[in-house]
Amino acid sequence: MRRLIAVASVVVLGACSWLPNHHLDYRKAESIKPMVVPEGMVFIGEKALYPVPDGLPAPVYSHAKKDDIPPPPQLAVTAQESEDTAQEAAPDTDPTNTRVVLARDGSGYPIIMMHTPFSWAWEYVGQALAATDMKIEDRDRESGIYYVRTPKELDVEGREAQIKLSLTANGIQIAVLDRKGAALLDKEPGQQIIQRLYDAL
């Protein structure tokens, strides 16, 4: 059976070379005289039915207009870049003069607002947490998160919570998230954690 298949393959492949090949015949084509139409008749294909008029000349670049090119649009910046830009724009601002406000968000969850650059707020919160009865187990400055272990009396699930720092239009917002960081911590234990942090700040 295999021998039969092999023989058939050779025959089929060889047959391809027996077919005439005319793909280069266009090179042998010769120019002929235009078709002559009898008087009183019109050959439609001789001229375009809808001739395209000459358009306006293409604009020519002028060196006199090189300064008229609009600047590129401003790209989006990260929170850290925005913070650095703000510090450069106001070099005389004293970052150590920090205003800390204990407040609530639109849903009634306790938060802290700090009016200071993110880098300073990050340091202040770290020092304040170290001064409380909560223990810092890990930290992620790029995400603005402190992972803390809470005391037993706060009744926090797994005794784990996240302190989240977010850069907003009104300053640095500090909120307390659950152990997974998926939602805000319940208001009662969240208020106790925020109050401890606020007192230490």
Q: Are 114 and 98 in contact (CB under 8 A)?
A: yes
CA distance 22 to 44: 31
CA distance 77 to 88: 15
- Bigger pLDDT: 52 or 151? 151
Mean pLDDT of 153-178: 91
The pTM (predicted TM-score) of the whole model is: 0.53
Give the model confidence (pLDDT) of 174-190 as tens digits: 999 999 998 999 999 99
Give the model confidence (pLDDT) of 59-105 as tens digits: 665 555 555 666 665 554 444 555 555 444 344 445 566 789 999 99
Tell me what the pLDDT averaged over the chain comes to.
Answer: 77
- Bigger pLDDT: 198 or 59? 198
Percent above pLDDT 70 for the chain: 61
Structure confidence at residue 89 (pLDDT): 39
Give the model confidence (pLDDT) of 7-32 as tens digits: 566 555 555 556 677 777 777 878 77
What CATH topology corresponds to 97-200? TATA-Binding Protein (3.30.310)
What are the residue boundaries of the structural domains of the chain, listed by start?
Answer: 97-200
Give the residue among 133, 167, 130, 158 at the shortest CA–CA distance from 146.
130
Phi/psi zone of residue 112: left (φ > 0), alpha (ψ -120 to 50 degrees), beta?
beta
